[in-house]
Amino acid sequence: MKILKELFNITLVFTGITLTFVLSYFTSYFTKDGTWFTLLYFFIFMGMAIGIKQIGKYYVQNFL
């Protein structure tokens, strides 16, 4: 069970970082400076990853 938890956490973080770089790359086509957008995307997707982890933790503690 601990291995699945670690794989889930790694997958969420990797997905957040991947989405950050992909969206920053596409945003750089339309703007002159993509640095701020990269930071914005990073915080958004890492926040989403943390939120998903918290929801999963709540679900496991209360329903399983």
pTM for the whole thing? 0.64
**What is the total residue count of the chain?**
64
pLDDT digits (tens, 9 = 90+) for 10-49: 888 888 888 888 888 888 777 777 677 778 888 888 888 8
DSSP assignment of 19-38 equals HHHHHHHHHTTT-S--HHHH
Q: So what's the pLDDT on residue 14?
A: 86
Q: So what's the pLDDT on residue 21?
A: 83
Domain ranges in the chain are: 2-63
- Whether the CB-CB separation of 45 and 12 falls below 8 Å is answered with no
